[in-house]
Amino acid sequence: AQSVTQPDIHITVSEGASLELRCNYSYGATPYLFWYVQSPGQGLQLLLKYFSGDTLVQGIKGFEAEFKRSQSSFNLRKPSVHWSDAAEYFCAVVTYSGGGADGLTFGKGTHLIIQP
Amino acid sequence: DGGITQSPKYLFRKEGQNVTLSCEQNLNHDAMYWYRQDPGQGLRLIYYSQIVNDFQKGDIAEGYSVSREKKESFPLTVTSAQKNPTAFYLCASSITGTPGELFFGEGSRLTVL
């Protein structure tokens, strides 16, 4: 079965510093991978996605992620964080059954705190 | 504006009562999903529907029921059989053929008193 692990429950970064959020996946074939962001009490918003091709993908709000098959990772990065980036971040992988795509399996999330 | 509307935003219920959460979308999406979110647990799939009048159980369907009589509507009923229903519930939709690209509502927070 497909699974996603986000090793860091909380990360604290100073405003203006760079950011990297880790994500490891378990899937036999080439996965479809996603990063979502959630502000408190809100729904989730898609940041970026990887299906195939270029392993460095660009997303919204200045985020990017790199797919590394050898490490089973899909880490999210941003060169300089802003206070508005404080949120919960979820990595996810598409799951499949005999009938096709079932939806997404999410990691447990990383809570990003921005220090002034 | 197109989007997904969940209602109510906050809901309180007594133990033993059924409650229905509404999810309506005007995005013309075929697929709709219900996720449950608990602190530190991420999101877990309850039910999903790829087409009208058809739906499948997700990972944690026990104690929940759904219907999909119209393309734009996918209500979730939390029954008295759900042992721990207090949670944040999220509805989402997607275009068939773009798995994983979900559009989410703003969620409904259910508290059992």
Query: B43: which chain A residues are within 8 Å (Cβ-Cβ)?
Result: 44, 90, 104, 106
Q: Which has the higher per-residue pLDDT, B99 or B39?
A: B39
**Cβ atoms of residues A50 and A67 within 8 Å:** yes
The token pair at A25 is 């996946």
How far separated are the first and last CA of chain B, in Å rounded?
36
Percent of all residues in chain B with a pLDDT value above 70, rounded to a whole number: 99
Mutation for B interface: A6, A106, A110, most B CBs within 10 A: A106
Q: What is the mean pLDDT of residues B21-25?
A: 98
* CA–CA min distance A31, chain B (Å): 11
Average pLDDT over residues B59-64: 95
- A interface test, pick of B102, B106, B111 with most A CB neighbours within 10 Å: B102
For A84, B49, B60, B109, the CA distances from B43, given in Å and listed in that order, are: 23, 17, 11, 14
Using an 8 Å Cβ cutoff, are A108 and A6 in contact? yes
Tell me whether B21 touches chain A (CB under 8 Å). no
Closest CA to A109 of B91, B43, B101, B58: B43
Chain A residues in contact with B107 (beta carbon < 8 A): 41-43
Tell me: the pLDDT tens digits for A32-77? 999 999 998 889 999 999 988 889 999 999 999 999 999 999 999 9
Q: Which of A91-105, B19-33, B67-81 has the lowest mean pLDDT?
A: A91-105
Contact B100 A45 (CB under 8 A): no
**Partners of A21 in beta bridges:** A76
CA distance A74 to B108: 30
What pLDDT is stored for residue B20 in this prediction? Answer: 97
Pairing of strands B10-13, B108-112: parallel
pLDDT above 90: residue B57:
yes
CB contact under 8 A, B101 and A46: yes
pLDDT beyond 80 at B97: no
Q: What is the pLDDT of residue B61?
A: 96
CB pairs under 8 A between A and B: 66
Q: Does residue B1 contact residue B86 with C-beta atoms inside 8 Å?
A: no
Q: Looking at CA atoms only, how far is residue A88 from chain B in angstroms?
A: 10
What is the 3-state secondary structure of chain A? CCEEECCCCEEEEECCCCEEECCEEECCCCCCEEEEEECCCCCEEEEEEECCCCCEEECHHHCEEEEEHHHCEEEEEECCCCHHHCEEEEEEEEEEECCEEEEEEECCCEEEEEEC
Contact A42 B106 (CB under 8 A): yes
What number is the average pLDDT over the span B94-111?
90
Q: Which two tokens stand for residue B63?
A: 């104690």
Contact across the interface for A90 and B43, Cβ inside 8 Å: yes
How far is Cα B85 from Cα B70, in angstroms, rounded to an integer? 26
Min Cα separation A41/chain B (Å): 7
Q: What are phi and psi of A70, to 5 degrees?
A: -65, -25
Chain B residue at shortest CA distance from A33: B100
B34: distance to nearest CA of chain A, Å? 10
